[in-house]
Structure 1
Amino acid sequence: MSFKIAIIGAGSVGFTKKLFTDILCVPEFKDIEFALTDVSEHNLQMIKAILDRIVEANKLPTKVTATTDRREALDGARYVISCVRVGGLEAYADDIRIPLKYGIDQCVGDTICAGGILYGQRNIPVILDFCKDIREVAETNVKFLNYANPMAMNTWAAIEYGKVDTVGLCHGVQHGAEQIAEVLGAKSTQELDYVCSGINHQTWFIDLRLNGRPIGKDELVAAFEAHPVYSRQEKLRIDVLKRFGVYSTESNGHLSEYLPWYRKRPDEITRWIDMSDWIHGETGGYLRYSTETRNWFETEYPQFLEAASKPIDQEKRSNEHASHILEALETNRVYRGHFNVKNNGVITNLPQDAIVESPGFVDRFGINMAAGITLPEACAATCIASINVQRMSVHAAIAGDIDLLKLAVLHDPLVGAVSTPEEVWQMVDEMVVAQAAWLPQYAHAVPAARERLSTSAVKTREWAGAARRSVRSIEELRAEKAALAQAG
């Protein structure tokens, strides 16, 4: 087989390498072309060198090109994969820093909440630019695979306004299933059957079976509470399981910021999180992790390049959906997964225009979703609160409507639990002014926002958050890695 895959945001070096090696685990795909594109020439050349080394080491005919000209990369592509982070870590730092001034403590801030909504405002204009180019220069029946957050907003914009055949992909379901299999004593997730449905980062295991035997709430709660690690790291997630009756796919830290109950007071935050790793609820945890990862990669690049000389291990193909979807579409080897698509009857008690994450299978005919799923009422209510925020956020981003943007932020569950309307209005003004370089649709609103900020009487505070850790130096990371190696 010979076709072209374009990867936008290919400068996300580690993730691009994973997608690349996964796809090359499919024997029929050795003759394809990967066209890499990114706004960073520096990152682009680093990842191209790594992928070229992999091709050379495995004696493959695979073609790898790299260009900052997006249209050139998209020209003739059958598949387009996006893993962009618009504004990079600079804008992301403001997504965390500015809401903290108003008492809003986020662990990740990339899906909803104040940070996730502004992240969507930066991404959506760029997503629509991608879609325009895809429609004009890619293959006629091109498929757009979006990995970029905020998943639901980006996918919503691409389908509804970009008019491109789009599916959103995430690995939260797979990670949740791995945890459940472990606490139940299964040898692998192959022993676990499940239906997981909802919206991205708020998906729920509504039917669980271990070797065909149904697993109920009480058994699952007991298994998690008995686990020596998860009982400590997933306290909030276990509490939601007890109250809702079903387990959420999302990590302790992520889940905490989608709900109005666990992060609204500093003393409550420290009660429900765990500081052993960023993902369990640390303030700005993912920002710290991303910063350390970038610094580590830049410093240790020669080692990463050397590691690329090893043969591809077919047994280490990851559970990321992309390679499996492409394999099913091209070879008709059927793949079952959980995908982000427009609802249209997939989930009966969520809005039909929403982007839902739910089970489906892929073959030559495309992605075929299981329809008619009904969520437990509490799960549906929680999802609907987020969907309403997502819808307003998408509409605000398309129209450049700062008033609608403020209403979207006001209706966010955690923001509403912490901040007053006056605080929300000023916070959004401050975020729009700080991120104006990545918000072209709000250029007309920035002068007035800046003027309001100069006369505002709303008080703020400089606050690091309830559970903030400092970014570790390269020397500290090296020492920690050496200690782990010695202990292991």
Structure 2
Amino acid sequence: MSFKIAIIGAGSVGFTKKLFTDILCVPEFKDIEFALTDVSEHNLSMIKAILDRIVEANKLPTRVTATTNRREALEGARYIISCVRVGGLEAYADDIRIPLKYGIDQCVGDTICAGGILYGQRNIPVILDFCRDIREVADTNAKFLNYANPMAMNTWAAIEYGKVDTVGLCHGVQHGAEQIAEVLGAKSPRELDYVCSGINHQTWFIELRLNGRPIGKDELVAAFEAHPVYSKQEKLRIDVLKRFGVYSTESNGHLSEYLPWYRKRPDEITRWIDMSDWIHGETGGYLRYSTETRNWFETEYPQFLEAASKPIDPAKRSNEHASHILEALETNRVYRGHFNVRNEGVITNLPQDAIIESPGFVDRFGINMAAGITLPEACAATCMASINVQRMSVYAAIAGDIDLLKLAVLHDPLVGAVSTPEEVWQMVDEMVVAEAAWLPQYAHAVPAAKERLSKSKVKTREWAGAARRNVRSIEELRAEKAALKQAG
């Protein structure tokens, strides 16, 4: 087989390498072309060198090109994969820093909440640019695989306004299933059969079977509470399981910021989170992790390049959906996964226009969703709160409507639990002004926002958050890695 895959945001070096090696684990895909594109020539040069080394070490005919000219990369592509972060870590820092001034403590801030909504405002105009280029220069039947957050908003915009065949992909379901299999004592995650459905980052394991035996709420709660690690790291997640009756896919930290109950007071935050790793609820945890990862990669690049000389091992193919979807579409080997698509009746008690994440099967005829799923009422209610925020956020991003943007932020569950309307109005003004370089649709609104900020009497505070950690230096990371190696 010979076709072209374009990766937008290929400068996300580690993730691009994973997708690349996964795809080349499919025997029929050795003779394809990867076209890498990114706004950073520096990152492009690094990832191309790594992929070239992999191709050379494995004696493959695979072709790898790299360009900052996106249309050139997309020309003739059958598949387009996006893993972009518009605004980079600079804008992301404002997504965390500014809401903290108003008492809003986020762990990740890339899905909803104040940070995720503004992230969507930055991404959506760029996503629509991608879609225009796909329609104009890519293969006629091109498929757009979106890995970038905020997943639901980006996918919603690409489908409804970009008019491109799009599927959103995430790995939260797989990770949640691995946890459940572990606490139940399974020898392999394959022993666990499940139905998991909802919206991205709020999907729910509504049916579980271990080796064919149904698993109920009480057994699952007992298994998590008895686990020596998860009982401490996933306290909030376990509490939701007890109250809702089903387990959420999302980590303790992620889940905490989509709900109005657990992160609204500093003493409550520290009660429910765990500081053993950022993902369990640390204030700005993913921002810190991302910053450290970038710094580490830049410093340790020669070691990453050297590691690329090893043979590809198909046994180590990851459970990221992309390679499995492409394999199913191209070879007709059926793949079952969980995909972000427009609802249209798949989940009976969520809106038709919502972007849902639910089970589906892929073969040469495309992605075929399992329809007629009904969520437990509490899960549906929680998803609905986010869907309404997502819908308003997408509409605001398309129209450049700052008033609708403020209403979207006001209706966010955590923001609404913490902040007053006056605080929300000022916070959005402040975020739009700070991130104006990445918000072209709001250029007309920036002068008035600046004027309002100059006259505002709403009080803010400089607050690091309830559980903030400093970014570690390369020396600290190196010492920690050495200590772990010695201990292991």
- CA distance in structure 2 between the aligned counterparts of 1:399 and 1:39, rounded to whole angstroms: 25
- CA distance in structure 1 between the aligned counterparts of 2:188 and 2:430, rounded to whole angstroms: 48
Superposed displacement of residue 388, structure 1: 0.1
Superposed displacement of residue 205, structure 1: 0.1
Superposed displacement of residue 354, structure 1: 0.2
- CA distance in structure 2 between the aligned counterparts of 1:250 and 1:143, rounded to whole angstroms: 27
Superposed displacement of residue 96, structure 1: 0.1
- CA distance in structure 1 between the aligned counterparts of 2:375 and 2:314, rounded to whole angstroms: 37
Secondary structure of 1:361 counterpart: strand
- CA distance in structure 2 between the aligned counterparts of 1:399 and 1:314, rounded to whole angstroms: 46
- CA distance in structure 1 between the aligned counterparts of 2:181 and 2:187, rounded to whole angstroms: 7
- CA distance in structure 2 between the aligned counterparts of 1:17 and 1:410, rounded to whole angstroms: 39
Superposed displacement of residue 85, structure 1: 0.0
Superposed displacement of residue 41, structure 1: 0.2
- Give CA-to-partner distance per residue, 1:63-114, whole Å, 9 cap, x none: 0000000000000000000000000000000000000000000000000000
Calculate the aligned-residue CA RMSD, in Å.
Answer: 0.2
Listed as ranges, the gaps of 5+ residues in structure 1 are none
Secondary structure of 1:360 counterpart: strand
Superposed displacement of residue 20, structure 1: 0.1
Q: Are 2:453 and 1:450 aligned? A: no
- CA distance in structure 2 between the aligned counterparts of 1:210 and 1:80, rounded to whole angstroms: 36
- Give CA-to-partner distance per residue, 1:32-57, whole Å, 9 cap, x none: 00000000000000000000000000
Superposed displacement of residue 468, structure 1: 0.1
- CA distance in structure 2 between the aligned counterparts of 1:443 and 1:346, rounded to whole angstroms: 38
- Give CA-to-partner distance per residue, 1:428-455, whole Å, 9 cap, x none: 0000000000000000000000000000
- Give CA-to-partner distance per residue, 1:139-165, whole Å, 9 cap, x none: 000000000000000000000000000
- CA distance in structure 1 between the aligned counterparts of 2:124 and 2:250, rounded to whole angstroms: 23
- CA distance in structure 1 between the aligned counterparts of 2:487 and 2:31, rounded to whole angstroms: 43
Q: TM-score, normalised by structure 2?
A: 1.00
Runs of 4+ in structure 1 displaced over 3 angstroms? none
Superposed displacement of residue 307, structure 1: 0.2
Superposed displacement of residue 357, structure 1: 0.1
Secondary structure of 1:486 counterpart: helix
Partner of 1:230: 230
- CA distance in structure 2 between the aligned counterparts of 1:208 and 1:236, rounded to whole angstroms: 21
Secondary structure of 2:120 counterpart: helix
Superposed displacement of residue 22, structure 1: 0.1
- CA distance in structure 1 between the aligned counterparts of 2:256 and 2:321, rounded to whole angstroms: 26
Secondary structure of 1:374 counterpart: coil
Partner of 2:43: 43
- CA distance in structure 2 between the aligned counterparts of 1:188 and 1:2, rounded to whole angstroms: 35
Superposed displacement of residue 201, structure 1: 0.1
- CA distance in structure 2 between the aligned counterparts of 1:68 and 1:359, rounded to whole angstroms: 36
Partner of 1:315: 315
- CA distance in structure 1 between the aligned counterparts of 2:476 and 2:453, rounded to whole angstroms: 40
- CA distance in structure 2 between the aligned counterparts of 1:473 and 1:33, rounded to whole angstroms: 38
Q: Are 2:416 and 1:421 aligned? A: no
- CA distance in structure 2 between the aligned counterparts of 1:464 and 1:351, rounded to whole angstroms: 38
Q: TM-score, normalised by structure 1?
A: 1.00
Partner of 1:244: 244
- Give CA-to-partner distance per residue, 1:238-273, whole Å, 9 cap, x none: 000000000000000000000000000000000000
Identity %: 95
- CA distance in structure 2 between the aligned counterparts of 1:61 and 1:484, rounded to whole angstroms: 39
- CA distance in structure 1 between the aligned counterparts of 2:479 and 2:361, rounded to whole angstroms: 45
Superposed displacement of residue 212, structure 1: 0.2
- Give CA-to-partner distance per residue, 1:15-41, whole Å, 9 cap, x none: 000000000000000000000000000
Superposed displacement of residue 229, structure 1: 0.1
- CA distance in structure 2 between the aligned counterparts of 1:10 and 1:147, rounded to whole angstroms: 12
- Give CA-to-partner distance per residue, 1:357-410, whole Å, 9 cap, x none: 000000000000000100000000000000000000000000000000000000
- CA distance in structure 2 between the aligned counterparts of 1:320 and 1:398, rounded to whole angstroms: 30
Secondary structure of 1:454 counterpart: helix
- CA distance in structure 2 between the aligned counterparts of 1:250 and 1:166, rounded to whole angstroms: 23
Superposed displacement of residue 332, structure 1: 0.1
Superposed displacement of residue 278, structure 1: 0.1
- CA distance in structure 2 between the aligned counterparts of 1:190 and 1:456, rounded to whole angstroms: 57
